[in-house]
Amino acid sequence: MTVRIVTITSNNIRNKTAMQKKPIAYIVSMGAGLEAFIYREVEALCDRGVSIVLFATKFNKGDVFSPKPDWPYHFLSLKRLVVEAPILLLKMCLRPALLLEALRDGGLIYLVFATKFAPIMKRSGVRQIHCHFGDSKFFIGYYCKRLTGLPLSVTIHAHEFYTNPNVSIFRKALIASDRIFPIASRWCDRLSAEYAIPPEKMRLNHLFVDLDLYRPTDELKVLAVGRFTERKGFQYLMEAAKQLSDLKIRFIFVGFGEIDLCYMADEIGVRDKITVFNKMDQEQLRIFYQTADILCVPSITTEKEGAEGIPVVLMEGMACGLPVVATRCGAIEELVENMLIDEQSADQLAAAIRELALNDELRISQGKRNREIVMEQFSKSNVEQFSEWLDEVAVPLSE
């Protein structure tokens, strides 16, 4: 075996640095935001100083995995396609052989996208083209390479072998690629066996997870459920969370409303300790009750909304055996026996949560008692009694 030795010089380093400043065109779909793993991949590459320009086959704003503000992106909307169709058609006619090939292979729509994207890539100083998935994104990338002469690479998953929309163009694009990145050894083998791709053209490229984020945890989970309004007192729970920064506690909020809890957490300085979920159905919410460690209801009396009744959230959480920290707001005292605190007191909230967090036996005993309370006073027998009372309404009192 001949070993090739490469001497790294300052010129090599300068050339590599200059090359890295030129962006990579990433062809993706963002119809429902980026795939989570593609989002993480782009984010990690950007963190390493790689410049990325996204070219999307579909795009809808507002998804949690939409591009970050500093990620440049381009897409061709249906409305824009209709407006620009005559110009794009004229440009395609300037490359008659490529146009005829696309028509023969059923790739006209991919050539349309490429005809739109290729000039943008040139203006952006793109150094190479990468497609994540070997489907329509890859086909557009193939035609972009034909139009620009730029190097082309692709990440290959599984579905390309089972539900590929155009095997003919897939084969041509593989042959035209400068590098292919299968995510599993199985796909390397299939590319070799079915498409005669030489091993030296492929690099096994496993996807990744951030091990600093995805790891076992011993965090306690404090759950708060309700509308995101002033009366729920969530700001006091966040202030309590700040006082509990020395403990491993995750504060989970579930609900909806006019208050932006993430913004509130940023303002208070506890964004890294809270997770906010939107409104859930009963089945989803039940999973949270059954996996949390503590339920917190920090409600306050307000001029606009008044005080609490007996929150169903408390009944549900206590029925699941959760220990509770709650305020003496409205009629809450008629349900909760332990860990009752004053309204608008972050200090008392923090102290009560700390006591439960540091005492496993106390959490278990209070959770057990809370379920007993609900069984005794707030079970389904209440609605059975209510049904009988409703029947009485039709009977005159004189009888």
H or E segment at 241?
helix 234-243
**Residue 59 burial (CB count, 10 A):** 20
Q: Does domain 220-377 have CATH number 3.10.50.40?
A: no
pLDDT of the residue at 128: 97
Q: Hey, what CATH topology would domain 20-201 get?
A: Rossmann fold (3.40.50)
DSSP for 313-370, written as a single string: HHHHHHHTT--EEEE--TTGGGT--SSEE-TT-HHHHHHHHHHHHT-HHHHHHHHHHH
* pLDDT level of residue 7 (50, 70, 90 thresholds): very low
Q: Report, as an integer, the average pLDDT of 286-311.
A: 94
Spatial separation of the C-alpha atoms in residues 16 and 37, rounded to whole Å: 27
**Residue 224 burial (CB count, 10 A):** 26
Residue 25: DSSP 8-state: E
Is the pLDDT at 177 greater than 70? The verdict is yes
34 and 28 Cβ atoms separated by less than 8 Å: yes
Is the pLDDT at 389 greater than 50? The verdict is yes
Span 263-298, pLDDT tens digits: 999 999 999 999 999 999 999 999 999 999 999 999
Span 228-258, pLDDT tens digits: 999 999 999 999 999 999 999 999 999 999 9
pLDDT of the residue at 4: 37
Span 12-63, pLDDT tens digits: 444 455 455 799 999 999 988 899 999 999 999 999 999 999 999 988 876 7
Long-range (24+ apart) CB contacts under 8 A made by 209-218 are: 209/40, 210/40, 210/44, 217/248, 217/250, 218/248
Mean of pLDDT over the chain: 91
Angle at 322 between CA 321 and CA 327, to 5 degrees: 135
- Counting residues of the chain whose pLDDT is more than 70, the rounded percentage is 94
pLDDT of the residue at 182: 97
* 20-201 and 220-377 agree in CATH topology: yes
pLDDT of the residue at 2: 33
Domain range summary for the chain, segments of one domain joined by +:
20-201, 220-377
Mapped onto helix, strand or coil, the DSSP state of residue 130 is: strand
As a dihedral over the C-alpha atoms of residue 191, residue 192, residue 193, residue 196, rounded to 10 degrees, the angle is 100
27 and 129 Cβ atoms separated by less than 8 Å: yes
pLDDT of the residue at 163: 92
pLDDT of the residue at 277: 96
Spatial separation of the C-alpha atoms in residues 387 and 370, rounded to whole Å: 26
Spatial separation of the C-alpha atoms in residues 40 and 60, rounded to whole Å: 19
Span 68-107, pLDDT tens digits: 999 999 998 888 888 888 899 999 999 999 999 999 999 9
* pLDDT level of residue 260 (50, 70, 90 thresholds): very high
